[in-house]
Amino acid sequence: MSDCPQELHYTNTHEWVKLESDDTVTVGVTDHAQSQLGDLVFVELPNTDIEVGKGEDLVVLESVKTAADVYAAVSGEVIEVNAQLNEKPDLINEDPYGNGWIYKIKLSDASELDELMSAEEYLAHISEE
């Protein structure tokens, strides 16, 4: 079973969300998601300074066996991307909850965080897949 840090929020599409300040979050993919994808070889990062809506396709992860979309976990403005992933996409495999973060968003609606799952809810969700 995947390890899920308790302080994070989770989506049913396997993104994690960490509240950094009142209006900024960091987003990545869960350990479960990266293990399902396998060794990542390419990450197509979003542009910064773009407005995104919750659930929109935002990032493409490519592994040796498949490609997968990463969705906007919340609505807002993409303010930063993890440029290290251009050279080392496998950071997501090695450290999905740390150095493998993907993007940061300035929230346009903080109440969307209330719609995300807790670690316990996410673990129950993936056990049903």
User: pLDDT grade, residue 17 (50/70/90)?
Assistant: very high
**Percent of the chain having pLDDT more than 90?**
94
**Percent of the chain having pLDDT more than 70?**
98
29-65 pLDDT, tens digit each: 999 999 999 999 999 999 999 999 999 999 999 999 8
CA geometry: angle 27, 30, 33, nearest 5 deg:
125
Look up the CATH number of domain 9-123. Answer: 2.40.50.100
Q: How far is CA 26 from the centre of its chain?
A: 8
- CA–CA dist 121, 6 (Å, integer): 11
Beta strands in 72-110 (DSSP E): 76-81, 103-107
